[in-house]
């Protein structure tokens, strides 16, 4: 299972996937989405990287996000 923090728009799109659901314990209300895809329906590596980066940017201190932007 994968759990990431998403923006409102991205989260809405992600929740349209049959294996996605708002994260439990009330975290879904704050934009957290959990994914539990079957092995034959794993998202592509590009999609996984995009979700992880968006989640990191939403949670990381601004200083670390700035450092990330400087590397890119």
Beta-strand pair 20-22/2-5:
unpaired
Alpha helices in 1-72 (DSSP H): 8-14, 45-59, 62-71
The Cα–Cα gap between 62 and 1 comes to 27
Q: Which residues pair with 4 in a beta bridge?
A: 33
Cα distance from N-terminal residue to C-terminal residue, the chain = 29
pTM score: 0.82
pLDDT tens string 33-52: 999 999 999 889 999 999 99
pLDDT of residue 3: 95
Find the mean pLDDT for residues 21-33.
95
pLDDT of residue 72: 73
């Amino acid at each position: 299972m994968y759990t990431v923090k998403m923006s409102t728009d991205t989260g809405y799109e992600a929740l349209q996937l049959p294996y996605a659901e708002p994260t439990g314990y009330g975290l879904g209300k704050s934009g957290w989405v959990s994914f539990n895809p079957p092995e034959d329906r794993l998202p592509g590596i590009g999609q996984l990287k995009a979700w992880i980066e968006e989640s990191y940017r939403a949670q990381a201190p601004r200083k670390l996000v700035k450092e990330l932007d400087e590397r890119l």
